[in-house]
Chains A and B, each alone.
Chain A
Amino acid sequence: MRHLRVITPVCLAAAAIAVALSQLSCEKKSDGLSRVVVIGMDGLDPRLCERLMDQGALPHLAALRDKGGYKPLGTTTPPQSPVAWASFITGANPGVHGIFDFIHRDPSKQYAPYYAAAETVDGEGGWAVGEHEIPITLWPFQHTPTQTLLRRHGTPFWDYLDEAGVPTWFYDIPANYPPSPSKHGHLCCLSGMGVPDLLGSYGTYQLFSEDTYVEKRDEGGLRKPLIFKDDRAGGVLTGPKNTSLVKPVDTHVGFDIYRHPTEQTARIEVQGKTIVLKAGEWSDWCKVSFTMKMPSFLPSVHVSGICRFYLQEVRPNFRLYVTPLNIDPSDPGDQRITEPAAFVGKLSDALGLFYTTGFQEDHKALSAGTFVDEEYREQADYVLSERLELLDYAIENYDDGLLFFYFSSTDLQAHMFWWDGDEPHPTRSRQSAAKCHGTIEALYKRMDDIVGDVLERFGDDATILVMSDHGFCNFRRQFSLNAWLRNNGYIHPPECESLLLDRTNPVDWSRTQAYGLGINGLYLNLKGRERDGSVDPAQRDRVLDELTEKLLAVRDPVSGEPVVARVDRADRIYSGPSASVAPDLIVGYHRGYRASWATALGDMSEEEMTDNDSAWSADHCVAAELVPGVIFSNRPVLRASPSLIDLAPTILQEFGVEPPETMVGGSLFETEAVTTRD
């Protein structure tokens, strides 16, 4: 008993020290290791970089090129960000990591689409009390709460560094939500693309305005009516669903708006906080707490989110935009967005509140007409300025090991403002398109300055890699793959307008041979694989060959240009344990073309080819060889045709870690002859 009295406090003290040490694992420390800094600039395009470097507009990148440290970087098939970043992370083809498109489907449910990189799985069990069902995770109940699971397979390269004791820092790493755990405590990671907002979506803004008469959901946002009486109105923010209810319902937070009777100013009162804005101004981040009501004998649960208010107009039509509700980095609750979990708290302590959703630039607001160009540009600039503060923090707290930092600006601004060349834009005038492209050029110059700053800070003390996952091109015309399949007799009945939603002429799966899903994927409705499969496996090759031949022959009826540049068979380009869930064909479009918006989720227009009249006027989901990314380094890139899957082995070798067999690429700093492995 006496021993117990001594042992207990000692154990407690040891546990406390262990916890404290684990909390400190993200502190900078020096072990005299190599330093590798990777700056990921999503969508940085080699053609534009080369043009601007030749003009002398990107001096720092040009200096790297002059030293032999530049090459276009081969991307993945298809060249979509989740696919490409997953290949960067695993150093392997999609057959290993299992992400083939933004959208996948569950064949056992016959066309049930879901986001490829993560999936929310409903909980199992729960204590049913009245209208509530409360999951109790403790023994003996051990109910499973609803949770989001990372669907990226394969081993991320940082696991090998973690095992070797190399400290690694990742900021905004895409395709890693929820963050994969660290086994040895040398990983610090903030998840990026893939992190949802508090509503569980990939960015749902809320717009309150006088000219909205009925609450409705549009492309990426909720529109809500406001009625002023004596210059006062009340609004209600929609929050996350209360999942403790048997039938979950949205939570809400009310707020008051007072507008000046004559001036373009207004005041917002939300949960005891006051925000005063002029028309055209953004607020700082504002914390909002949503209450999840529990049965009366249990305390309510509070979920904290953050948002910014943007007062678009006071008169004549009051309009107030609210950003998607981001997970509060200072109080993330059950939402885990960093590894270790406490890392996000350290970031918040140092930087305050910041965007935590994967898609930070609100492109949906521009696409839906909620923003005009200038408003989107301002919001995207704010995102970049916030990221630069994070980069400063990242560099200040980095000593050695690997530092990875990701910028989304080059991708999400390019999608909206890129229009390269003289071909007519479907919606903008030539001058307006040129002005928008000027925004992208200015952004590239800013990114060049960032590279210059990083080079100056590290000099030759670190291996610096600046890379992108793909390039960019115009998106002028959209191809409705499912309409084409229907018109060519692969989808039945011919009157069907949607694979999911057409109740009048629902799809007849017994006669449907193939369907499109996602942006580049085409699936056969194969017997034995799909729930209602119709194509005999013996006919598989014949149908695939037939489809390939017909797709390559598709011509734009307006210009006569070919639409599809290449069609790849998944079983020939992918290998690995996840290859069996890949689409059967990957459709690679020519520059200027892409699958239509309707195709991604199974809808089909009447016409096969239409103009892309969306503000999202540039893309990269074409044939992979048409939109390579870039690799810049402060060391000569010797590999003749480097590609994304070479990054992981390069980084491992920089730290003296032998790449595993699943990584088929080699070091960028060696020629193929040296690094080719059997």
Chain B
Amino acid sequence: MDVVDSLLIFGGDAVRWVCAALATLFGSVWGGLDALLNPLLSPLLAVLNPVCTAIGDVTYAIVRTLPVWVGLTLLSVLAGIAMLVIFRYMSNQTGITRAKDQISANLLAIKLYRDELRVMFRSQWGVLCGVAKLQRYVLTPVLIMLLPMMLGLAQMGMRHQWRPLQPGERTLMKVRFDAEHAVAGQIKLEPSPGLHVEVGPVPGGGELVWRIRGNEPGRHTLRFRVDGTVVEKELVVGDSFERVSAVRPGAAWASQLLHPGESRLPAGSPVASIEILYPAVDSWVYGADYWVLYFFVVSMASALLLKPLFRVTF
């Protein structure tokens, strides 16, 4: 039993070590990729985000007349249709049909020639090749759809992930600084009718944190004076369905992609990001985190259902 226990412990330790190594490797690769992509994607997103936000505002101006879950359903169905259309024209439909036929034929061969080992192995290899081909044909439209999908999801996130601060409701606001800048003792938040500062700022850990309370409803601009410059952040107070920008990002493209509601902070600013911890939307359908699940289920289901109508094969 001791041997078994030792083996189990050794095995467990080994698995943990491998996981840790993979995480480090993934981190390094991501870091490299991030450094490589940032000069390209950051300016691109700086251009795309305002356009997408304008489109998002127009779209939601239309659907906000509906109950929120109906609007989300409608957008999900439309996204499903859009995916179908993109898939229809951006994929090699003939190739996909051929690959699917190849897979079907080889599966049939496996069923028919169970006793013929050579045929079995050859057919299994054929299935694998068919699946690989299928993946290759699917990859092109998926890559084409990736960026618009991410931009669309980020727009939806600003409406479904967080909600505006209600008047009287308490939350935190964080200003993070670049590593090379010490926490600016001279930062000053100008008074705004949108909020009441309860406590703060409390410095430490490369950031300043305020505890604030929502005040007058509306879309307010908060102004921070720091090191002779002015940095702005949007604050939304109210109890209606509104676009909410939780973070005003810095120059990191990933942060810009996730938080497209406000322009990135100017290069050279001592401030790295400004975040307001808005309350999460509370709903099992269209609330924080669940809306993504709901969106994928509905868009996929509508794509599957409407597939024959658009004569799409996948």
Q: Which residue of A has the minimal Cβ distance to B210? A: A276
Contacts of B202 in A (CB 8 A): 258-260, 265-267, 276
Surface stretch bound by A, among B6-14, B126-134, B302-310: B6-14
Distance to closest chain B CB from A403 (angstroms): 28
Surface stretch bound by B, among A204-212, A290-298, A353-361: A290-298
Q: Does A47 contact B (CB under 8 A)?
A: no
Residues of A within 8 A of B (CB): 128-130, 231-232, 256, 258-261, 265-267, 269, 274, 276-278, 281, 295-298
Most chain B beta-carbon contacts within 10 A, residue among A130, A265, A276, A298: A276
Given contacts A258-B202, A258-B203, contact A296 B172 (CB under 8 A): no
Distance to closest chain B CB from A345 (angstroms): 15
Residue pair B199, A130 in contact (C-beta under 8 Å):
no
Given contacts A232-B204, A260-B202, contact A267 B16 (CB under 8 A): no
Residue pair A295, B8 in contact (C-beta under 8 Å):
yes
Residue pair A295, B9 in contact (C-beta under 8 Å):
yes
* Cα separation A215 to B8 with both chains bound (whole Å): 38
Contacts of A267 in B (CB 8 A): 202, 204, 209
Binary CB contact string for chain B from 196 to 222 against chain A (1 if under 8 A, 0 otherwise)? 001110111100011100000000000
Residue pair A265, B200 in contact (C-beta under 8 Å):
yes
Residue pair B199, A297 in contact (C-beta under 8 Å):
no
Most chain B beta-carbon contacts within 10 A, residue among A231, A261, A296, A298: A296
Binary CB contact string for chain B from 156 to 190 against chain A (1 if under 8 A, 0 otherwise)? 00000000000000001010000000000000000
Residue pair A297, B209 in contact (C-beta under 8 Å):
no
- How many positions in chain B have a CB within 8 Å of any CB in the partner chain? 21
Distance to closest chain B CB from A109 (angstroms): 34
- 18 A-B pairs (CB sep. < 8 Å): A231-B203, A231-B204, A258-B204, A260-B203, A261-B203, A265-B199, A265-B200, A267-B204, A267-B209, A274-B174, A274-B209, A277-B199, A278-B198, A278-B199, A295-B8, A296-B12, A296-B13, A297-B9
Residue pair B204, A298 in contact (C-beta under 8 Å):
no
Residue pair B9, A296 in contact (C-beta under 8 Å):
yes
Distance to closest chain B CB from A346 (angstroms): 15
Known: A231-B204, A266-B202. 8 other contacts (CB 8 A): A232-B204, A256-B204, A261-B203, A267-B209, A276-B210, A295-B8, A296-B12, A296-B15
Residue pair A297, B12 in contact (C-beta under 8 Å):
yes
Most chain B beta-carbon contacts within 10 A, residue among A129, A231, A278: A129
* Cα separation A656 to B174 with both chains bound (whole Å): 62
Partner of A130, one of B5, B15, B204, B211: B5
Contacts of A297 in B (CB 8 A): 8-9, 11-12, 15
Distance to closest chain B CB from A206 (angstroms): 22
Distance to closest chain A CB from B15 (angstroms): 7
Q: Which residue of B has the minimal Cβ distance to A284? A: B170
Given contacts A276-B199, A278-B199, contact A129 B205 (CB under 8 A): no
Q: Which residue of A has the minimal Cβ distance to B202? A: A267
* Cα separation A309 to B198 with both chains bound (whole Å): 17
CB interface residues, B 82-100, toward A, < 8 Å: none
Most chain A beta-carbon contacts within 10 A, residue among B13, B15, B209: B209
Contacts of A130 in B (CB 8 A): 5, 9
Contacts of B199 in A (CB 8 A): 265, 276-278, 281
* Cα separation A260 to B199 with both chains bound (whole Å): 11
Distance to closest chain B CB from A284 (angstroms): 9
Binary CB contact string for chain B from 258 to 269 against chain A (1 if under 8 A, 0 otherwise)? 000000000000
* Cα separation A129 to B205 with both chains bound (whole Å): 41
Distance to closest chain B CB from A247 (angstroms): 17
* Cα separation A278 to B16 with both chains bound (whole Å): 42
CB interface residues, B 13-37, toward A, < 8 Å: 13, 15-16
* Cα separation A269 to B203 with both chains bound (whole Å): 12
Q: Which residue of B has the minimal Cβ distance to A296? A: B12
Distance to closest chain B CB from A393 (angstroms): 18
Residues of B within 8 A of A (CB): 5, 8-9, 11-13, 15-16, 172, 174, 198-200, 202-205, 209-211, 277
Contacts of A232 in B (CB 8 A): 204-205
Distance to closest chain B CB from A603 (angstroms): 45
* Cα separation A254 to B260 with both chains bound (whole Å): 34
* Cα separation A292 to B13 with both chains bound (whole Å): 17
Distance to closest chain A CB from B146 (angstroms): 29
* Cα separation A130 to B8 with both chains bound (whole Å): 10
* Cα separation A296 to B13 with both chains bound (whole Å): 6
Contacts of B205 in A (CB 8 A): 232, 256, 258, 269
Contacts of A128 in B (CB 8 A): 5
Residue pair A298, B209 in contact (C-beta under 8 Å):
no
Residue pair B204, A276 in contact (C-beta under 8 Å):
no
Q: Which residue of B has the minimal Cβ distance to A256? A: B205
* Cα separation A130 to B200 with both chains bound (whole Å): 49
Closest 4 CB pairs of A and B: A258-B204, A297-B12, A296-B12, A276-B211
* Cα separation A260 to B208 with both chains bound (whole Å): 10
Given contacts A130-B5, A274-B174, A278-B199, contact A296 B204 (CB under 8 A): no
Distance to closest chain B CB from A311 (angstroms): 10
* Cα separation A80 to B205 with both chains bound (whole Å): 51
Residue pair B200, A276 in contact (C-beta under 8 Å):
yes
* Cα separation A274 to B200 with both chains bound (whole Å): 13
Contacts of A261 in B (CB 8 A): 203
Distance to closest chain B CB from A608 (angstroms): 53
Distance to closest chain B CB from A287 (angstroms): 15
Given contacts A231-B204, A232-B204, A296-B13, contact A276 B5 (CB under 8 A): no
* Cα separation A259 to B204 with both chains bound (whole Å): 8
Distance to closest chain B CB from A62 (angstroms): 38
Residue pair A298, B203 in contact (C-beta under 8 Å):
no
Distance to closest chain B CB from A133 (angstroms): 12
* Cα separation A281 to B200 with both chains bound (whole Å): 13
* Cα separation A276 to B201 with both chains bound (whole Å): 9
Distance to closest chain B CB from A530 (angstroms): 42
Q: Which residue of B has the minimal Cβ distance to A263? A: B202
Q: Which residue of A has the minimal Cβ distance to B173? A: A276
Contacts of A274 in B (CB 8 A): 172, 174, 209, 277
Distance to closest chain B CB from A128 (angstroms): 8
Q: Which residue of B has the minimal Cβ distance to A231? A: B204
Residue pair A129, B200 in contact (C-beta under 8 Å):
no
Distance to closest chain A CB from B214 (angstroms): 16
* Cα separation A231 to B202 with both chains bound (whole Å): 11
Residue pair B172, A276 in contact (C-beta under 8 Å):
yes
Q: Which residue of A has the minimal Cβ distance to B277? A: A274
Q: Which residue of B has the minimal Cβ distance to A258? A: B204
Most chain B beta-carbon contacts within 10 A, residue among A232, A256, A265, A298: A265
Q: Which residue of A has the minimal Cβ distance to B11? A: A297
Partner of A276, one of B11, B13, B15, B209: B209
* Cα separation A231 to B205 with both chains bound (whole Å): 10
* Cα separation A128 to B5 with both chains bound (whole Å): 9
Contacts of B198 in A (CB 8 A): 278
* Cα separation A231 to B204 with both chains bound (whole Å): 8
Contacts of A298 in B (CB 8 A): 12
Distance to closest chain B CB from A605 (angstroms): 47
Contacts of A277 in B (CB 8 A): 199
* Cα separation A42 to B192 with both chains bound (whole Å): 49
Residue pair B16, A296 in contact (C-beta under 8 Å):
yes
Distance to closest chain B CB from A299 (angstroms): 10
Distance to closest chain B CB from A677 (angstroms): 54
* Cα separation A500 to B8 with both chains bound (whole Å): 44
Q: Which residue of A has the minimal Cβ distance to B4? A: A129
Contacts of B11 in A (CB 8 A): 297
Contacts of B15 in A (CB 8 A): 296-297
* Cα separation A281 to B198 with both chains bound (whole Å): 11
Contacts of A295 in B (CB 8 A): 8-9, 12
